[in-house]
Amino acid sequence: MPFRLILAASAAALAGVAACAQENGDEAAGSPESADAASTPAGDSVAAATARLITTDGSEVGTAAFTQGPEGVVIRIEAEGLPEDARGAWHGGHLHETGDCSASDFTSAGSHINPSGRAHGLLNPDGPDNADLGNFWIHADGALMTEFYTTRVSIDGRTDAPALLDADGSAFILHANPDDHSSQPIGGAGPRILCGVIEAG
């Protein structure tokens, strides 16, 4: 084949490859999948909330941090300087239906988060309710540090579980006594000694 014809054929082949690449690139750039991926921030899968924990005399002693995962919420509690009569013992902890710690006995936080009306108690065959978290140990020096996970609530309603940040908010409550995980309505956990209103951020 004459040299001139070889060059012409090569040029035509290269032009065809370039055209195909351009066409494929245009399709990829205009596809809904790529547009959605570009417009969805990586952090959209995570929501966070915090509660400042106070005692019945109004002293702020720590925080509870809430981080939303795909199926549930990680809760980390860090507190110190808790009342002396509460130290060296287990205490029941629950999530309550109203974000209000204004009453001196914290009854303003309402009852447990429990829209389906299940029985209280992690060991109750008819439970647990959405509020049940277990018991928390306060050390002899007045410190409480723990991290745990629950699928029975969500932060903002992105799962089927009740939202902590609903219209009237919610609160974390720690009680004076341990929770027996079965008796009604709160497992014998007694008075409320610690409260924190759960807020976004």
pLDDT reading at 127 higher than 80? yes
Torsion of CA 55, 58, 62, 68, to 10 degrees: 90
Please check whether residues 127 and 115 belong to one and the same domain: yes
Helix, strand, coil fractions of the chain, as percent rounded to 5: 20, 30, 45
Q: What is the pTM of this model?
A: 0.77
Please check whether residues 133 and 96 belong to one and the same domain: yes
> Could you read off the pLDDT of 40-82 as tens digits, one per residue?
233 454 599 999 999 999 999 999 999 999 999 999 999 999 9
Please check whether residues 97 and 22 belong to one and the same domain: no
**Looking at residue 126, which CATH number applies to its domain?**
2.60.40.200
> Could you read off the pLDDT of 7-30 as tens digits, one per residue?
334 444 434 434 444 444 443 334
Query: What is the C-alpha separation between 119 and 182, in angstroms, rounded?
Result: 8
pLDDT at 44: 52
Domain span including residue 10: 3-40
Please check whether residues 99 and 81 belong to one and the same domain: yes
